[in-house]
Each structure stands twice: as C-alpha cells, then as structure tokens.
Structure 1
C-alpha cells in the first residue's frame, strides 16, 4: 500500500490510545512529516516541522513552550485550510464540467465531489 495509507492506518489505530500531551505529540510528528512530503505546496508546512522539532521533548511542562506548540499547530491548521481551499476550487471546475457532460449525475453529487476527494487525500488523513 502507498505510504499515505500506512501512515493514516497507523494514526487511526493510535489516536484512541493517546493518553496525554506526550502521546499526542508523538502522533503529530509523523503526520506532519508526511504532510511535508505529500503536500504540493509545502513551504509553510516544512517551516512548521522545523519549528515543531525545535520544541523541547517535554514542551507541555512550560507555559511558553506550550504556547509555541499551539502556535505551530495553528499554523499547520491554517496551511491545511489554504491547501484544502485551493485543491477544492481546482477540482470543482473539473467536476462540474465532467458532471455536466454526463446527464445521469445528480447536482448534489457534483457539488460534493471535490470536497470528498480532498478529504480522502493524504494531506487530510
């Protein structure tokens, strides 16, 4: 299976067992690494990865380090939102064109197509 599928499966298996900050941080690191490798425009994500790696291993014990961690997570969230918007708008035009040519496709399916493709992509696992 592709690397994205392996990372997604591993994360989905570990999430229910994450007991605290250390476990959540351990999950976040490989997911962010995967994003850096798989996202088409990944400059901000790679910078987030560098900033995440600069944090001490026990960042949740210091208020200042915890705030830095939250800032990195917020930047990742914004980068993913921007990536999602770009991918959705690029795909939607194609979905509408193809769906319009096929007379048997319901309008609601056409309108949801690009969003579902983006949600199923590696960046959003």
Structure 2
C-alpha cells in the first residue's frame, strides 16, 4: 500500500507495439496515466490509459478513461490497496489485484474500449 498521493508530471516510458516509447504523463507513485498512443474519443479528445512505471507495462488493455482527472482518481484508489506496485513480478499473476483493478476502474469512470489496443503487451 502506498501513501503517495502527489502528482508528478514527467515523461513516462511505456511498452507499445513498436517497442518502448516515451510520452508525457502524470505519475503517482509507481503508476502513471497518459493519453493512449492509438485511441481517441469520437470527439478527438484523448483516451487516458494507465502504465505501471517500473515495468512500462500498460495496465488494463481494454480499459480507458475519458479524462486525466478520472485516471488520476483511479490511480489514487489503486495506491490505497494493500498491493506493492513497485514489484512487477506478480502483476500478471495476482488474481485479486486483477479483480480489484477492474472493479475500481469502473467505479472511477473507466470505460471498456471497443477495439483491441496495440499498446498492451498481453
């Protein structure tokens, strides 16, 4: 569980279908949000995604947020969970984390993305 709650605006390294890319983002602890590399809303505004900073892995390949504020609220909720976000070894294996991620995403305004997102390594 992380008590970190302040936002740091900085370049974020994330894994994309073309390799590792750097995008402008907002980080709280080990989690960051940034505009999707390949998806936008119908009005042209960005879809906001979540990246695990230590690994560069996109989290929730079929989940996005309509605003940066929603994505940051989601990161704050995730940081309140008893999960060590600095350790990337168990991100794909922890079923409880996956269930919490999906539930909290929708509570915080997350939406299911209609098309497959090439940003996700999974």
Asked if Structure 1 and Structure 2 have the same fold, meaning a TM-score greater than 0.5 normalized by the shorter chain, the answer is: no
More strand by share: 2
Question: More relative contact order in 1 or in 2 (CA 8 Å, sep 6+)?
Answer: 2
Larger radius of gyration: 1
More helix by share: 1
TM-score by length of 1: 0.29
TM-score by length of 2: 0.30
